[in-house]
Amino acid sequence: MKLWKAGSATFVIAALALTATGCGSDGETESPSRSAASGSKGKIVIGIKFDQPGVGLKQPDGSYAGFDVDVARYVAKKLGYMPGQIQFKKAPSAQREQMIKNGDVKFVVASYSINDKREKEVDFAGPYFLAHQDLLVRAGDKSITKPEDLNGKKLCSVTGSTSAQNVKEKLAPKADLLQRGGYSECLTGLENKAVDAVTTDDAILAGYAAQAQHKGKFKLAGLKLSDEKYGIGLKEGDVDLKKKIDAALTAMVADGSWDKAVQANFGPAGFANEPAPKITAAN
Ligand code: GLU
């Protein structure tokens, strides 16, 4: 009996070791194998987009790429976290404030525009990028060249985005607005003619238009319909974290990493971005 107990204890330890090796296989942690060697700080959970090529994308092999991903990695490193300690979490447009408030994520880097409504619920570091709302239409479409042309047309955007809000409030209140959970769903609609146009930030639309499977199918209208200043969303009142992130963003611009990230992620789409915005303490 004693022997059996000892044997079973050995078995339990071996099983635990195996389980531990399997940890992080949810596909969301970067280099899970390295997380065991991570420093004393443990993990950091960061909210990003999973379906926006060039901005925030979960790739078929489970890795992450995009400008926001590079910004997130840079900031995390300055906060003392190595890539293996980062866990990326999907942060859909409509869930960002709640995810921050719940403490599901430490911060959100997800094409997240700073605006008054959101600032009532969360704080923002940055801004670290300036985009503009634009329209994406099918390549052969000549009927939509300005926002007024959208009235009576089927327009797709995302629930909880400033893009959808702007359409309803000012750009095209009479458009038939379909709101989806993510822009990739809108793209499918544009391709199969369920919608006539997709609207959101130019940086996001340019990424979709440049994807291999979309090449030649869509075009951007080239309208600067709004100013979208991207900030890093964090818990309201966390002054220390905001300061640290602002410092990291300032360093990213100063040491050339910001330019490199812009070229690597927006260059292939031929997207002409605005220069780095001034990181202001009060936004
Ligand atoms: N930047 C806009 C926003 O924060 C549109 C892009 C998005 O939905 O993430 O709402």
The string of pLDDT tens digits covering residues 254-281 is 999 999 999 999 999 989 999 999 988 5
Distance 163 CA to ligand 1 centre (A): 6
Q: In whole angstroms, what is the distance from residue 268 CA to residue 54 CA?
A: 9
Q: Is the pLDDT of residue 16 over 80?
A: no
3-state SS track over the chain: CHHHHHHHHHHHHHHHHHHHHHCCCCCCECCHHHHCCCCCCCCEEEEECCEECCCEEECCCCCEECHHHHHHHHHHHHCCCCHHHEEEEECCHHHHHHHHHHCCCCEECCCCECCHHHHCCEEEEEEEEEECEEEEEECCCCCCCCHHHHCCCEEEEECCCHHHHHHHHHHCCCCEEEEECCHHHHHHHHHCCCCCEEEEEHHHHHHHHHCHHHCCCEEECCCCCCCEEEEEEEECCCHHHHHHHHHHHHHHHHCCHHHHHHHHHHHHHCCCCCCCCCCCCCC
CA of 201 to the centre of ligand 1 (A): 7
Q: Distance between CA 232 and CA 127 in Å, rounded? A: 7
pLDDT of 226 over the 80 cut = yes
Pocket of ligand 1 (CB under 6 A): 93, 110-113, 158, 161-163, 200-201, 228
CATH of domain 44-131+229-269: 3.40.190.10
Q: What is the mean pLDDT of the chain?
A: 87
Q: How far is the CA of 134 from the centre of ligand 1 (A)?
A: 12
Domain ranges for the chain, please list them.
44-131+229-269, 132-220
In the chain, the percentage of residues whose pLDDT exceeds 90 is 82
CATH class of the region 132-220:
alpha beta
What's the average model confidence in pLDDT over 224-228?
96
Mutational test site, ligand 1, from 95, 201, 204, max ligand atoms within 8 Å of CB = 201
CA of 174 to the centre of ligand 1 (A): 21
Hey, do 44-131+229-269 and 132-220 end up sharing a CATH topology, with the first three levels equal?
A: yes
pLDDT for 19: 33
Ligand 1 atom closest to the Cα of residue 183 is 8
